[in-house]
Amino acid sequence: MSFNKKKVSLIAEKACINEDEKTLISSFVEVCSFLSEFPDELSWRTSKVNPKKPDAATDEGLEMLANRYFEAYRRSDFPAEPSTIPDEMVSVIMENAYGYSAAECEKIKVEHQYSMCAENCVGNLLERYLDSQLRSSHWNWCCGEFVKAIDFLGKNDNGEWIALQIKNRDNSENSSSSAIRDGTRIQKWFRSFSKDTKKGRPSFTNWQKLPSLIQGYNLNEKEFKLFVSKYIKEEKKNLGK
Amino acid sequence: MSFNKKKVSLIAEKACINEDEKTLISSFVEVCSFLSEFPDELSWRTSKVNPKKPDAATDEGLEMLANRYFEAYRRSDFPAEPSTIPDEMVSVIMENAYGYSAAECEKIKVEHQYSMCAENCVGNLLERYLDSQLRSSHWNWCCGEFVKAIDFLGKNDNGEWIALQIKNRDNSENSSSSAIRDGTRIQKWFRSFSKDTKKGRPSFTNWQKLPSLIQGYNLNEKEFKLFVSKYIKEEKKNLGK
């Protein structure tokens, strides 16, 4: 059965609620085209309430995928308010090991929570930034995390799939990246170094080592920083924070 | 082949370098006795340099286990100095999302690193504290992390193995706890709650829910806190910090 791009586009369009989202339809279609070729690469957690995995070969499955895709795009990556209870033993160690006062530890405890919340968004913001620069290209964002270990999909000049896996840090946990068959290659890239292993490293970011296939789109740290500031400011306003 | 406790004790004694360590010999012997019954429960990372897994049925294997066990006991759980490079994008988010100033972010960045280092020792200190209270009992500390997903081993009145898995937080990652065969039961316990899910929860620690088999050893949060303060102070002195 051949993949019907026109039909998938129409299903995607129904899942969109504004014009901006519609500029992602062609990316969604390509992602579904990939999944129709490699159904095992679908990553979908089932539950008792939702026991069914979507099948990209059926209209119902495509609707499920479209909803997940555009809902994830709409979801804000503004950092959450801390919701965990800090472990008091951390303060006990901070006081005795590093000499912070009890009052300092109280303040540090709260700021540490905010730092963790901020940290947790960087990976998503990095994907959003890359998509913002790549959307008009032949690269397709796998928004919604339903393609195993792949963040962007494209094709090379021979029409073979090329997959990109993006990490924010060189020490981010590896997702269980399954080996994809039949000539699909996964290229991996991380944005930042967590350790100063190389004496005199001029930069702790890794933009100069972007895979050659996504070079030429003016992707760099300075622009990423501007993107993040702008995104967070706008979301803060949108969310009424 | 029956397990020769006398021989294992002698091998352990050679791995000890002071009298304090010798009080752990009987625990080490019990751990090896368990591994001789359940060799698949050994957790050992091999490498090109060290391609061999220890076999608890050979003297050589027992020596490897004894060295690992007592070296881990000797290793300090004083928090490390931060060695990672902070991600500057976290400060960008902190400034724009929560309104911290650039100067505050510089300070928070460093304190956040120290907080993570402190956090990373709590789990180990919890095991040390439990061992300090349980060593003279029939409970045996699986020091050195070479028994899969098990932190303490004991036997019940019927001579059946009982295994304990200890976590510091209810949201700590689960180690891949293999199901142990032949009547060995794993009891799990965590020390602290990370979320305030229960309205009016009187305490965020879980000492009142200790598995019944390790009740009666005066294990509690107040004593754990005293243990941590004392341990960190002593190690600070020992390490000349």
Dump pLDDT digits (tens) for B226-239.
Answer: 999 999 999 999 99
Instruction: Please give the Cα distance from B171 to A193 (Å, whole number).
Output: 27
The verdict on a CB contact (< 8 Å) between B85 and A229 is: no
Q: Find chain B residues with C-beta within 8 A of A79's C-beta.
A: 93, 97-98
Interface ipTM > 0.90: yes
Average pLDDT, chain B: 92
List % helix, strand, coil for chain A (3-state, nearest 5): 50, 10, 40
Contact B12, B66 (CB under 8 A): yes
Q: Which residues pair with A140 in a beta bridge?
A: A153
Specify if A98 maps to a domain.
Answer: no
Nearest to B89 among A92, A98, A122 (CB): A122
> Is A61's Cβ below 8 Å from some Cβ in B?
no
Instruction: Please give the Cα distance from A208 to B52 (Å, whole number).
Output: 40
Specify if A201 maps to a domain.
Answer: yes
Instruction: Please give the Cα distance from B171 to A19 (Å, whole number).
Output: 40
The whole-number pLDDT of residue B2 equals: 75
Is the pLDDT confidence value at B25 over 70? yes
The whole-number pLDDT of residue B186 equals: 86
Specify if B24 maps to a domain.
Answer: yes
The verdict on a CB contact (< 8 Å) between A228 and B84 is: no
Per the structure, how many domains does chain A have? 1
Q: Which tokens in the block code for residue B44? A: 């050992």
> Is B215's Cβ below 8 Å from some Cβ in A?
no
The verdict on a CB contact (< 8 Å) between B84 and A109 is: no
Cβ–Cβ contacts within 10 Å for residue A113, how many?
Answer: 18
Specify if B121 maps to a domain.
Answer: no
Report helix, strand or coil for A153: strand
Global pTM reads 0.90
Return the closest-CA partner of residue A122 out of A168, A160, A157: A168
Instruction: Please give the Cα distance from A167 to A144 (Å, whole number).
Output: 16
The verdict on a CB contact (< 8 Å) between B96 and A225 is: no
The whole-number pLDDT of residue A1 equals: 55
Specify if A60 maps to a domain.
Answer: yes
List % helix, strand, coil for chain B (3-state, nearest 5): 50, 10, 40
Nearest to A118 among B83, B94, B111 (CB): B94
Q: What is the pLDDT of residues B143-153, one digit of tens each?
A: 999 999 999 99
Specify if B160 maps to a domain.
Answer: yes
Beta A152-155 vs A161-169: how paired, if at all?
antiparallel
Specify if B231 maps to a domain.
Answer: no
The verdict on a CB contact (< 8 Å) between A114 and B125 is: no
> Is A207's Cβ below 8 Å from some Cβ in B?
no
Nearest to B112 among A115, A125, A169 (CB): A115
Cβ–Cβ contacts within 10 Å for residue B110, how many?
Answer: 12
Nearest to A118 among B90, B119, B224 (CB): B90
- List per-residue pLDDT tens for chain A, 241 residues long: 578 999 999 999 999 999 999 999 999 999 999 999 999 999 999 888 888 999 988 999 999 999 999 999 999 999 999 999 999 999 999 999 999 999 999 999 999 999 999 999 999 999 999 999 999 999 999 999 999 999 999 998 888 899 999 999 998 766 555 455 455 678 899 999 998 877 667 679 999 999 988 999 999 999 999 999 999 999 999 999 8
Domain range for A24 is 5-75+138-216
Buried b (16+ CB within 10 A) or exposed e, A201-221: eeebbbbeebeeebeeeebeb
> Is A89's Cβ below 8 Å from some Cβ in B?
yes
> What value, to the nearest 5°, has the Cα angle with vertex A49 and ends A45 and A53?
40
Chain A nearest C-alpha distance from B117 (Å): 9
The verdict on a CB contact (< 8 Å) between B90 and A119 is: yes
Specify if B100 maps to a domain.
Answer: no
Is the pLDDT confidence value at B13 over 80? yes
Instruction: Please give the Cα distance from A142 to A129 (Å, whole number).
Output: 13
Q: Which tokens in the block code for residue B107? A: 């300070």
Instruction: Please give the Cα distance from A39 to A199 (Å, whole number).
Output: 45
